[in-house]
Amino acid sequence: MKTRDRIIQESIVLFNEKGERNVTTNHIAAHLGISPGNLYYHFRNKEDIILSIYDEYARDLLVDTFSQVNTELTPLDAIISYMDGVFKMMIKFRFFYSNISVLLDKNPCLREKYVEVQSYIADRVSQLLISLRTDKAIDFHDDELTDIVSILRIVNTFWLSFYQTQNIVVDINDSVLYQGVLKILAILRPFTTESSMPEFIKVKEIYQQRYQDALSVV
């Protein structure tokens, strides 16, 4: 792996483990066993590293999770695919979700990219919900769509930050992420049609079991 790529990947690890605000470029260089000068050859500062990490995050999110709505999936599989994709990103890049407002304030270029990507994601979530309505899995009025999408994205984006403010001991693990999934399902339940409720319950049971399994290994 090239030095530049190593810096990006190990920075993700350090930011996730220690918190972005507690990690300096000197910490990153020492962790990698390289000189600060070598690191600065590839990146001007920590904000430049974070910007490159966000590029990887956005690429993974848009290509793997929100590339397109797959109309061949059943409503059950569509919801699971959406949940797994979003929360896989939360696991890998959880420092973003823990401190996103501060990161955006410190880096105007990051904010610009973030807003652009979020607009694309909002469109894809809208398409997913419309697809589910077409399949009669959920039902909502047209004028409710924007609000539903916003509420889903609020939980996705700020669940980790909310969790951290509600607990004395903060340990972000899989059980915390599955709690977030269950909150998403709670939002969707009132819109679930009677005919699709058995499938919805299956989805909830799947993630409830994953949550319990994750708790058992904490």
Give residue limits of the domains in the chain.
Answer: 1-43, 49-217
Residue 124's pLDDT is: 86
Residue 121's pLDDT is: 86
Considering just the CA atoms, what is the radius of gyration of the chain in Å?
A: 19
Residue 71's pLDDT is: 60
Please provide the distance, in angstroms rounded to a whole number, between the alpha carbons at the two ends of the chain. Answer: 32
1-43: CATH homologous superfamily? Answer: Homeodomain-like (1.10.10.60)
Residue 38's pLDDT is: 95
Residue carrying the six token digits 């956005």: 58
Residue 218's pLDDT is: 64
Residue 82, judged by CB atoms within 10 A of its CB (0-12, 13-18, 19+), counts as: buried
Contact 66, 85 (CB under 8 A): yes
Contact 140, 125 (CB under 8 A): no
Residue 212's pLDDT is: 94
Residue 90's pLDDT is: 83
Query: What class is the 49-217 domain?
Result: mainly alpha
Pick the closest to residue 11 from 45, 58, 41, 59 (CA basis): 45
Crossing angle of the two packed helices 145-165 and 75-92, in degrees rounded to 10:
40
Residue 161's pLDDT is: 85
pTM of the predicted model as reported, rounded to 2 decimal places: 0.85
Residue 79's pLDDT is: 74
Residue 189's pLDDT is: 95
Helix (H) or strand (E) holding 107: none
Q: Which residues of the chain have pLDDT under 70?
A: 65-71, 75-76, 218
Q: How many CB atoms lie within 10 A of CB 143?
A: 7
